[in-house]
């Protein structure tokens, strides 16, 4: 895939050159990105879809939506294939002149051949010694299988996801419902990372989630290193506002900022958390490399695909919508200015924290 295949427009280029090129450092470590192959996925029958997701779009299946897929009608439709070359092509366009490496996460999708998917990731990422991988796990993944892939394929952590909840409820399930005790015990024994997209309506603002994380980090599994995806699933101001005081007191908690486009949770986390615990992430390709944004509606949020909204009009301006990933970085920039982050803090968030914590050989 070449960069000429990417949907990058003149308005994206203007925002990069006038707003973001002086903000994004010359190194980028993207701690939340996915590879995907449709060849490794079988169609999912309607009766295999977890409770609460039967008529929802892919924002409840993946976690974030694509405008061309409606799983309430046809669950055989698919995400786009994304290999390592694709994310490198995108990086060269999104962050021109920057050196970029990744924490590649297993991509949760019902019907995936989990072992084959993980082997595909390992084969692709092996060419880049400065990138890392988290293994896709379901409750059926045995500790023996996971340990084998850690030892033989080089995974450094796990990527569970709520659509695999043993309760059959992917909306209101708890961490323990899709990340099993034997898996947690192995992760603790080996000191693994876990990238966690929290379930439940309020994400990190949910008391049960906070109680469970506190129990895991301070008592039961003190060697697991947690990355709470999407700013601890704070797509609006509310979850981070409710959770930051407790989360900031828990050991071995980090965050990735992926896909959040609301400036308010970034202000909160930049002002009230340790900057050393924050990683940049994009959730590319399917979840943020589209034209639009993630809109906050009170305490609710929703993806807005501007190419698909016929009623949008721009009579008051010649500007046009930009990529959601640029909306995210703009929100980061504005929050950093309000919170008074230093240039060194920005370097920490975009790459230095991940390089330090994941022990990557990338000398300054």
What the block records as the tokens of 238 is: 């509310």
Whether residue 341 lies inside any domain: the answer is yes
pLDDT digits (tens, 9 = 90+) for 321-360: 999 999 999 999 999 999 999 999 999 999 999 999 999 9
In sequence order, which residues have a C-beta less than 8 Å from that of residue 36 and are 6 or more positions away? Answer: 79, 80, 81, 82, 107, 109, 286
What pLDDT is recorded for position 42? Answer: 87
CA–CA separation, 148 and 211 (whole Å): 31
pLDDT exceeds cutoff 50 at 76: no
Kindly indicate the confidence band of residue 50, based on its pLDDT and cuts at 50, 70 and 90.
low
What pLDDT is recorded for position 312? Answer: 86
| Mean pLDDT over each residue of the chain, to the nearest integer | 90
Whether residue 251 lies inside any domain: the answer is yes
What single string gives the DSSP state of each residue in 225-255? EEEEHHHHH-SSHHHHHHHHHHHTTSTTEEE
In sequence order, which residues have a C-beta less than 8 Å from that of residue 7 and are 6 or more positions away? Answer: 289, 290, 291
pLDDT digits (tens, 9 = 90+) for 153-206: 999 999 999 999 999 999 999 999 999 999 999 999 999 999 999 999 999 999
CATH number, domain of 240, equals: 3.20.20.140
Which range marks the domain in which residue 27 is found?
3-357
Q: 8 in helix, strand or coil?
A: coil
Whether residue 252 lies inside any domain: the answer is yes
If phi > 0 it is left, if psi is from -120 to 50 it is alpha, else beta; for residue 168 that is left
Whether residue 73 lies inside any domain: the answer is yes
Helix, strand, coil tally for the chain in percent (to 5): 40, 15, 40
Whether residue 271 lies inside any domain: the answer is yes
- pTM for the complete prediction? 0.91
Whether residue 153 lies inside any domain: the answer is yes
Whether residue 364 lies inside any domain: the answer is no
CA angle 259, 263, 269 (to 5 degrees): 85
What the block records as the tokens of 107 is: 């991509």
Mean of pLDDT values over 53-68: 39
Kindly indicate the confidence band of residue 315, based on its pLDDT and cuts at 50, 70 and 90.
confident
Least confident of 49-53, 122-126, 168-172, 220-224: 49-53
Whether residue 363 lies inside any domain: the answer is no
Number of domains in the chain: 1
């Amino acid at each position: 895939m070449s960069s000429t295949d990417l949907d990058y427009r003149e308005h994206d280029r203007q925002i990069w050159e006038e707003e973001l090129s002086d903000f994004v450092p010359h190194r980028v470590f993207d701690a939340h990105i996915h590879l995907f192959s449709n060849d490794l996925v079988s169609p999912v029958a309607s009766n295999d879809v977890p409770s609460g997701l039967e008529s929802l779009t892919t924002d409840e299946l993946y976690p974030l939506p694509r405008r061309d897929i409606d799983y309430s009608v046809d669950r055989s439709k698919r995400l786009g294939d994304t290999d390592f070359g694709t994310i490198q092509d995108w990086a060269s366009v999104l962050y021109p002149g920057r050196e970029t490496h990744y924490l590649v996460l297993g991509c949760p999708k019902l019907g995936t051949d989990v072992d084959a998917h993980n082997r595909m990731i390992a084969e692709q990422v092996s060419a880049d010694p400065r990138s890392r991988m988290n293994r896709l796990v379901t409750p059926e993944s045995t500790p023996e299988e996971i340990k084998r892939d850690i030892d033989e394929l080089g995974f450094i952590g796990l990527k569970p996801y709520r659509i695999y909840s043993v309760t059959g409820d992917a909306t209101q399930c708890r961490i323990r419902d899709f990340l099993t005790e034997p898996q947690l015990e192995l992760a603790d024994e080996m000191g693994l990372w876990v990238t966690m997209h929290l379930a439940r309506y309020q994400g990190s603002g949910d008391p049960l989630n906070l109680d469970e994380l506190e129990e895991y980090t301070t008592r039961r599994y003190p060697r697991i290193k947690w990355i709470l995806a999407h700013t601890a699933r704070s797509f609006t101001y509310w979850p981070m506002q409710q959770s930051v005081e407790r989360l900031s007191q828990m050991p071995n908690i980090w965050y990735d900022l992926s896909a959040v486009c609301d400036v308010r949770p970034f202000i909160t986390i930049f002002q009230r958390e340790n900057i050393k615990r924050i990683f940049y992430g994009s959730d590319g390709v399917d979840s943020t490399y589209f034209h639009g944004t993630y809109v906050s509606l009170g305490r609710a949020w929703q993806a807005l695909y501007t190419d698909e909204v016929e009623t949008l009009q721009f009579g008051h301006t010649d500007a046009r919508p930009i990529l959601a990933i640029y909306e995210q970085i703009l929100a980061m920039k504005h929050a950093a200015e309000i919170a008074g982050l230093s240039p060194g803090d920005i370097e920490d968030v975009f790459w230095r924290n991940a390089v330090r914590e994941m022990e990557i050989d990338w000398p300054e």
